[in-house]
A and B are shown apart, each in its own frame.
Chain A
Amino acid sequence: MVRYKEKGRSGVSNKIFFGFLFTVLTLYVICLLIPLVWGLYTSFKSPNDWMINEVWPSLNITFENYVSAFSSMYVQVGQTYFYTHHLLMNSFFYALGSAIVGGFVTCITAYMVAKFNYKFSKIVYAVVVITMTIPIIGNLPSMIEITTKIGLFDKMWGMWIVNGAWYGMFFLVFHATFRSVAGDYAEAASVDGASNFVVLFEIMIPLVKNTLAMAILLGFIGYWNDYQTPMIFLQSRPTIAFGMYLLSTDPRVPFETVRITGGMLTILPILIIFLFAKNKVMGNLTLGGIKG
């Protein structure tokens, strides 16, 4: 890192500049953390304590909200009730399947386009760039029609396929990464008689495993948090995010603390993943590949 002069006029202006940025960033952090910290300590507050004091944490820590949230969060589909553990399971399978299918399809397609120098590869690359540039809006009704017609609508595996759109930003990231990976290993393996499948799955994919892990992790987080897509496309297998959406507006929920706790319950798995895989999730993402 290049350091600035610490003395003289430019030293003073640096201190003011970075001091100002520090102040704005601190204000931002306060704005961000107030809802989260307040929500967290409220989730351990009994409904009676909440009635008396909505602002500060209570000394009487209780887990009753978590028990209530677990039992009050449910989604009714026809005659079937999906309780919290069902919703968590649905979310897990929905997010994991979609992220894995999307991640691998994107990675493999990018590899084929980057390493096989056919004219078609160039066309595919151009098409991806064009689709990313042209904003197409309001095709949701058509998407519902098509997925219904081909039998993917309202099916878990169907959603894994539907969510496997490969022509996005990660295609460019993978493409750039494969381009920058030297072909020596793959060539040596080919000379030794390895098939294209072996080269792809045993040599090339392990070489980009960090990028792939990042794509899958970010995909998992995105699908876990998404309540609007399952709300429309996966009505018979509701997810925890959708359950939380219903809970937030359900007048039958007796206490506000239960709603707040439901929110905490939903973000907890993601916070845990984030704490353990912070560096992977926040990898140095560039369209020229992954650095550092």
Chain B
Amino acid sequence: MAKKGVRTKRGIKADNEERPNAITAAGAKVKGFLKDGIYGCKVAVHNAFSRNKKAKATSMSSKAKKDMIFYVLMMAYPVLYFLLFYVAVNINSLSLAFKNYDIDASGRHYAIWAGFNNFKNIFNEYTSSTLLKNALANSFIVYLVGLLAVPLGLLFSFYIVKKAFGHEFFKVMLFLPSILSSLILVIMFKYVVERLYPAIMQEYFGREVQGLLADPNTRFGTLLFYNIVFSFGTSVLIYSSAMDRIPDPILESARIEGVSGIQEFWYITLPLIFPTISTFLIVGVAGIFTNQFNLFSVYGAAPPSPNMYTLGYYLFAETAYANELSYPRLSAFGILFTAVAVPLTFCVRFLLEKFSTKGAEF
């Protein structure tokens, strides 16, 4: 049976319950104490909670401090390295270009301000001799012919990504030249065209011929051939990785539409990996000024003809056998090449961005 009464916050109070006044007063006092006690506890808990919060905030800031110390410690070496071997080296290179070294009576080198003399001398050298003119022309020829390797590399990468017959073997073979010493490959190639080729011509065709690198008519073409054939490797690896990342649904829907391999390569693969290709083309521009055309490996410091020089070979060979007195002149060369290479690189970048369909990185 349900109790009759008034429902209060504290429960059911019986209607007929009678309480003496004293007890009511004592109850009120206890209630008051309890209320105060509970309030006190609440304040204490609140304070404790706030202190925790405060403590937590302090520990967070100490963690941030530790992170910062760790960051500074670990970044100190790389930053110092960069300041020394990039910033200082290039500033020094720039300042060297405007200096000249001289020797005092005690045989010690000292620097003197040369203004633009080093640059003037280079221009005089350029106009008075054919060596630098040929070197400049050869460098552009080597670069432009080397561009032939780009479509070939792309087609080879496509072959590998499509897992066509023998793809694993071809992948290894394409990568092999980039892990083998270029010097040894050049030496072996030199023997093949200088000894094996004349021997075969003599033995099987009865013709006495010069080696392909010894013959003035064929030596440049032979080196160009070498430069293209042995230039794959990292590029194929990166192109094929980029092709590998093209999502399958795109290729699947193309297949349903009935595209052939060549159509997929031309209409899907090339546009989608264009950012990777353009990165290669942009970075490659500097090669015009740095490509040694393997001349140092083949001929050392003395190629059979000065007409074969490239700018990269010229600069390296001069530096390798130079003493301190030549550094200002060579640095001026470097500054000049950089002054041409930087805007050229940005031009190529601008053109590639302007005249290409936008690709996508996956």
Contact = CB atoms under 8 A, between A and B. Distances in A.
A250 to B, nearest CB: 11
Contact of B230 (A32, A167, A200): A32
Given A10-B259, A108-B74, A244-B183, A162 B85 contact: yes
**Which of B71, B156, B199, B327 gathers most chain A CB within 10 Å?**
B71
Contact of A167 (B82, B89, B179, B327): B82
A164 B81 contact: yes
Interface stretch (B14-22, B34-42, B127-135, B282-290): B282-290
Interface string B161-186: 01111100111111111011111110
A134 interface: yes
A37 to B, nearest CB: 10
Contacts of A127: 82
B189 A29 contact: no
Contacts of A89: none
Contact of B229 (A28, A139, A245): A28
B319 interface: yes
Contacts of A29: 169-170, 173
**Which of A145, A282, A284 gathers most chain B CB within 10 Å?**
A282
Given A144-B327, A282-B171, A286-B245, 17 more contacts: A13-B260, A21-B156, A24-B152, A28-B232, A32-B176, A42-B191, A135-B283, A135-B285, A137-B290, A137-B334, A138-B93, A141-B322, A141-B331, A141-B334, A142-B334, A263-B188, A291-B245
A165 B254 CA distance: 44
Interface residues of A, number: 93
A10 B258 contact: yes
A34 interface: yes
A24 to B, nearest CB: 7
Nearest to A36: B188
**Which of B67, B85, B92 gathers most chain A CB within 10 Å?**
B85
Interface string A88-124: 0000000000000000010011001000101010001
Contacts of B289: 135, 137-138
A285 interface: yes
Interface string A244-279: 110011000000100110010011001100100010
B71 A118 contact: yes
Contact of B241 (A136, A195, A259, A284): A284
B320 A228 contact: yes
A59 interface: no
A189 to B, nearest CB: 13
B237 interface: yes
Contacts of B81: 105, 161, 164-166
B262 interface: yes
Contacts of B258: 5, 10
A133 B345 contact: yes
Given A145-B96, A225-B183, A231-B320, A38 B196 contact: yes
B195 A138 contact: no
Interface stretch (B48-56, B209-217, B336-344): B336-344
**Which of B185, B191, B264 gathers most chain A CB within 10 Å?**
B191
A182 interface: no
Contacts of B96: 141-142, 145
A180 interface: no
B255 A139 contact: no
A124 B76 CA distance: 12
